């Protein structure tokens, strides 16, 4: 039994990463109808910045994270205003997608130039990523607990913003019907910028908490991005909770199939399962077909 619990926990930890990135992607898509292909790299840059300030510039760990998050927010603001917004005004979907791909390439190359291609260890205070607790036969890594807690807190904050604030109301209004939202006086550009920044901060948190797990290296968040993308599709791409649930489901699928499926197909099996789910429910597990039609 412990083996199942251990495996489920391992899957959950991976799933947290997919869920957070899935959430970040859905957030922007739901309100602005934009697929942000730079989300993974932006998250990775936040991780690198936090590491750089702490390890190379000697800042305290927590302060370095705050600085990285502030810079991420500011950078995202600039990106949205200078590159995305002008294209949104043109009203064409494709150039925006290409623009986000361009931002991804640019950020990836800048980070490669700045930090090089060699992987680095992201050191956390007290090296708690190397501490393991043993509870019976179950083993619990201390940093994985931090990952779980951070995920929970992040989801709670996002949930609060969306459900309890004016901004969240605006986001929901835009997600439902953009024209009606505009007629009601919701400012599109304001909703858009806050959504982008919030999405980048969620991605940034993911980049930081998963840096000790995956090691910091150029593109280290791209794999998470791809899985987060699958998670968002699995959730229907229009449901925030669907994106999160899709991520957690994908993490579990990976863990259990790799453990028990024949080795030749183990790695491909989660993708096949997702494929079958989408054949049965093309609009994803957590959205209705009508929602997709409206989009």
Partner 1 sequence: MKNKLWKLLALLAVFGLLAAGCGDDDDDASSSASSDSASASESASDSSDSASASEAAEEEECEVARGVSDTEILFGSSQPMTGNLAALGEAAVLAMEVTRDRINDGGGIHGRNIRFIVQDDAYNPELTTSNAQYFIDQEKVFAIWASIGSAPLKAAIGIHDEGNTPTLFPWAQDLSFYDVDAHPLFFSVNPSAYAQTKGFGNYLVENYPDEELAVGLMTINSVDGEQTVDGFKDSDGADLLVDEQTWERDSTTYGPQILSFIDSGVTDVYVGTGDTQFAQFLLESDQLGLEARFWGSTGTISQNTIDLAGELSEGALGVNVISSATADKPGINAYKEAMLAAGAEDAQLGTASLLAYTGGLVLEEMLERTGPCLTVENFVAAGESIKDFDTGGIMRPLNFSADNHLGNNDVIILEVVNGEWVELVIGQE
Q: Which residues bind partner 1 (CB under 8 A)?
A: 3, 6-7, 10-11, 13-14, 17, 108-109, 112, 116-121, 129-130, 132, 134, 139, 141, 144, 213-215, 217-220, 222-224, 226-227, 254-256, 258-259, 263-264, 266-267
Q: Report the alpha-carbon distance of residue 191 to residue 245 in Å, rounded.
A: 25
- For 203-249, give the DSSP string: HHHHHHHTHHHH-B-TTTTHHHHHHHHHHHHHHTSS-HHHHHHHHHH
Which residues 6+ apart lie within 8 Å of 174 measured at CB? 31, 32, 181, 186, 188, 191
Q: Which is nearer to partner 1, 16 or 196 (CB)?
A: 16
Which residues 6+ apart lie within 8 Å of 79 measured at CB? 38, 103, 196
In 3D, which of 87, 106, 98, 97 has the Cα closest to residue 41?
A: 106
Q: Which is nearer to partner 1, 44 or 168 (CB)?
A: 44
Q: Which is nearer to partner 1, 76 or 217 (CB)?
A: 217
Q: Count of CB atoms within 10 A of residue 71's CB?
A: 16
CB of 98 to partner 1, least distance (A): 19
CB of 171 to partner 1, least distance (A): 29
CB of 10 to partner 1, least distance (A): 4
Q: Which is nearer to partner 1, 139 or 187 (CB)?
A: 139
CB of 37 to partner 1, least distance (A): 15
CA 213 to chain centre: 15
CB of 213 to partner 1, least distance (A): 8
CB of 96 to partner 1, least distance (A): 23
Task: For residue 120, report the phi and psi dihedrals to the nearest 5 degrees.
Answer: -125, 150
H or E stretch including 138?
strand 138-141
Q: Which is nearer to partner 1, 78 or 112 (CB)?
A: 112
Question: DSSP secondary-structure letter at 134?
Answer: E
Q: Which is nearer to partner 1, 199 or 218 (CB)?
A: 218
Q: Count of CB atoms within 10 A of residue 24's CB?
A: 31
């Amino acid at each position: 039994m412990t083996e199942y619990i251990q495996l489920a926990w391992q899957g959950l930890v991976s799933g947290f990463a997919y869920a957070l990135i899935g959430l970040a992607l859905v957030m922007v898509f739901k309100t602005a109808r934009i697929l942000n292909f730079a989300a993974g790299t932006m998250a990775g840059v936040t991780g690198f910045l936090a590491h750089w300030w702490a390890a190379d510039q000697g800042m305290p760990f927590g302060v370095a994270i705050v600085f990285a998050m502030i810079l991420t927010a500011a950078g995202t603001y600039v990106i949205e205003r200078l590159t995305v917004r002008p294209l949104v005004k043109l009203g064409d979907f494709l150039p925006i997608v290409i623009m986000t791909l361009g931002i991804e390439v640019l950020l990836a190359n800048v980070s490669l130039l700045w930090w090089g291609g060699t992987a680095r260890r992201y050191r956390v205070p007290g090296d708690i990523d190397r501490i393991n607790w043993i509870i019976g036969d179950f083993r619990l890594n201390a940093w994985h607990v931090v990952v779980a807690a951070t995920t929970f807190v992040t989801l709670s904050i996002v949930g609060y913003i969306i459900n309890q604030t004016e901004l969240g109301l605006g986001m929901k209004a835009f997600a439902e019907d953009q024209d009606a939202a505009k007629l009601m006086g919701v400012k599109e550009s304001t909703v858009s910028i806050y959504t982008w920044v919030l999405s980048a901060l969620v991605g940034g948190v993911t980049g930081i908490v998963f840096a000790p797990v995956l090691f910091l290296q150029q593109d280290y968040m791209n794999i998470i991005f791809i899985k987060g993308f699958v998670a968002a599709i699995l959730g229907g791409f229009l449901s925030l909770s669907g994106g999160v649930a899709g991520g957690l489901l994908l993490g579990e699928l990976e863990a259990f199939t790799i453990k028990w499926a024949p080795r030749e197909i183990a790695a491909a099996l989660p993708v096949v399962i997702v494929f079958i789910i989408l054949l049965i429910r093309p609009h994803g597990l957590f959205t209705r077909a009508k929602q997709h039609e409206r989009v």
